[in-house]
Structure 1
Amino acid sequence: MKSALVEKEGFAALVLRLRSEGISDLDLLTAVEQTPRSLFVPPQYSDEAYSSRSIPIECGSFMEGADLAVRLLSLLQVKPGQRVLEIGTGSGFMSAVLGRLAERVLSVDRYKTLLAGAQQRLDNLGMRNVVLRQSDGSNGLSGEGTFDRILSTAAFPAMPRFFAEQLVSGGMFLAPLVTGENTCVMVRLIKTGSRFEREDLFEAPYLPLVPKIASFL
């Protein structure tokens, strides 16, 4: 882990960039500050922990640049008392930040290796309201009731149907949707009764979700 001073400087630079994008939610920024990103990046990339660049992690996956990660969390508008489903645990950074904002977070990933690493980091931070499960995530997480927020950091080839049943009325689903051979767009859906309001937000650099595979890597 970086020294406290370097960590603080990295976070301060991130906050300046985020404010220039109109992101200034104090609860969110405090949750990010309390979750040192250098704990979640591979040691050789520690200098990039607070950069806007994507960072490679194990199993051929990557973690979002700091700017994009916080931007997504801002869009998700998580409130105290809410239940959140995260599809794509990865390093566990976003899981940890979500755990500081929500009542309970369930996060799934298909890689045992990533889940083991993320669990260790969450334990080190004393996070007890974040539960990790091994699953491909293509059908959400059935049998766990409904969620106020669902966030996916793996791209779906088409809009999935599971969120309609697993999201409460007034809930939000945020996920990348494949739109071309090498492109995907971040889509936000807000549920009102049985209807959904869709908003296409911006292109996002995410890997496609692989259905029905929970790897032993």
Structure 2
Amino acid sequence: MTARLAEKEGFAALVLRLRAEGISDLDLLTAVEQTQRSLFVPPQFADDAYSSRTIPIECGSFLEGIDFAVRILHHLKLKPGQRVLEIGTGSGFTAAVMGRLAERVLSIDRYKTLTSAAQRRMESLGLRSVVIRQADGSAGMQGEGTFDRILVTAAFNAMPRFYTDQLVSGGSMIAPLMISENECRMVRLTKTGSRFEREELFEAPYLPIVPRLASLL
């Protein structure tokens, strides 16, 4: 089987699984289809590119199963013209998909190895709407203005208010929260004026956020 055919078959199987969950947003699915998943997966895990399996990547990080990643983006409800902040670039896959849906995506990670690799992938895909930066996201991103959407992919023990301050009114943030020592759940906050509506979404595999830049990786 050629790599291109494997991508097509993997995506077709994904669409069937997502539709069973009630996810059928055409713009989102088109953005996923246009973002070659195999570019973001280590070669030894190529066969799992479109599976729901969590895949290890560099720096002790991991790539979420594609079902989980698309489920998050479905709940983020991205629209054209929006500015997005992503905390935790990882492989860059979600940033790439978001870059096809939003006007601008700023994605940061503490590991230079990950941000450099993700930047190369954006360049290979021609995604100029995505900016990748090595930065410490544990205390917010001051000086970058406000965002319509914020996606956090490292868990906090409480909802990080310093991020919500960077949301526009009507904007929303999705972040994983440690509900207990062994349980993490994705939570969405929607901002209306100075008030926030909180919704718990689903369980998540994320690890607690680590402060400061990584000095060696």
Name the TM-score class by shorter chain: over 0.9
Deviations 1:51-104 (A, max 9, x none): 001000000000110000000000000000000000000000000000000000
SS in 1 for 2:86: strand
RMSD: 1.0
Aligned residue number for residue 53 of structure 1? 53
Q: Which residue of 1 aligns with 2:133?
A: 133
2:131 aligned counterpart, secondary structure: strand
After superposition, residues 104-119 of structure 1 pair within 5 angstroms as 104-119=104-119
> Offset at 1:3?
1.4
Tell me the SS of whatever aligns to 2:210: coil
Contact 2:111 2:213 in 1 (8 A): no
Aligned partner of 2:180 in structure 1 is: 180
Contact 2:164–2:173 (Cα < 8 Å) also in 1: no
The amino acid of 2:110's aligned partner reads R
Deviation at 1:180, TM superposition (A): 1.6
Residue ranges of structure 1 left out of the alignment (5+ in a row): none
Where in structure 2 are the equivalents of 1:1-217 lying within 5 Å?
3-217=3-217
Shift of 1:197: 0.2
Percent identity for Structure 1 against Structure 2:
75
Q: How many residues align?
A: 216
Letter in structure 2 aligned against 1:15: V
Whole-angstrom CA distance in 2 between matches of 1:114 and 1:44: 18
Letter of the 1:173 counterpart: M
Q: TM-score if structure 1 supplies the norm length?
A: 0.97
What TM-score, normalized to structure 2? Answer: 0.97
Instruction: Tell me which amino acid in the other structure corresponds to 2:151.
Output: L
How far did residue 40 of structure 1 move?
0.3
Shift of 1:163: 2.0
- Checking the alignment, whether the CA contact within 8 Å between 2:110 and 2:212 is kept in structure 1 is no
What's the secondary structure of 1:208's corresponding residue?
Answer: coil
Gaps of at least 5 residues in structure 2 are none
* Deviation beyond 3 Å, 4+ runs, structure 1: 213-216
1:162-186 CA-to-partner distances (Å, cap 9, x unmatched) read: 1232000000000000122222111
